[in-house]
A = this chain, B = another copy of it.
Amino acid sequence: MALKIYLAGPEVFLPNAREMLDRKAAMARSAGFVPLSPDDVEIEKKGDLAEVALAIGAADEAMMLEADAIIANLTPWRGVSADAGTVYELGFMCALGKIVYAYTNVAASHFERVRAHYGEDGLADGPGMWRGPDGLRFEDFGMMDNLMLQGGVERRGGKVVIGNAAPDALYTDTTAFAKCLSLLARPDER
């Protein structure tokens, strides 16, 4: 019985959304899985916008309930952290005890990205602890995002694959995604 994998990520927002969703789904199929993608279900685009939004959310959650696993694209999205919708979905799947994998196409750690966000080194504030010029704390745990994300995956036996895409291919490079698929395809190496 082929594993059903929910392909979470911000691909739906890309200029080439359909192409990227199709490419990732095809790769998952080639690796022997059944892909489920956020855009697979046709949502009736009527009613007010809030109703449409609720219907999209409901459809995505239904796919997650059906899926056996998730591969979450946690590449930073308009800021330091991953796309909020994808993070919600990762938490959702972790709570359900599903098989959880994730990747990012940015090699710099969360700590390094927060420092870049502030445009300076930040202020050291104790061992492994820093503050931005705004006084808000950030920690140097070597994680790729907030510790709940990487911890949620790794404590369940999943892997977070750290890619390193070219700046103009942050959302189209599929190297790290392919690595997730190959890890999932070899359960003995998970």
Contacts and interface: CB of A to CB of B under 8 A. Distances in A.
* Copies of this chain in the oligomer: 2
Contact of A78 (B14, B58, B80, B141): B80
Interface in A118-135: 128, 131, 135
14 contacts: A13-B137, A15-B135, A49-B140, A49-B141, A53-B139, A53-B147, A53-B150, A57-B147, A58-B151, A64-B95, A88-B91, A88-B146, A95-B95, A136-B171
Contacts of A84: 81-82, 84, 87, 145-146, 148-149
A155 B88 contact: no
Contact of A138 (B13, B141, B149): B13
Contacts of A180: none
Interface in A18-68: 49-50, 52-54, 56-58, 60-61, 64
Given A89-B91, A95-B93, A148 B79 contact: no
Main secondary structure of the interface of A (DSSP, over half): helix
Contacts of A107: none
A143 B53 contact: yes
A88 B81 CA distance: 12
Interface of A: 10, 12-15, 17, 49-50, 52-54, 56-58, 60-61, 64, 78-85, 87-96, 114, 117, 128, 131, 135-143, 145-152, 154-155, 171
Contact of A117 (B58, B78, B82, B117): B78
Nearest to A125: B15
A96 B92 CA distance: 8
Q: Which of A90, A117, A152, A155 has the most CB of B within 10 A?
A: A152
B79 A152 contact: no
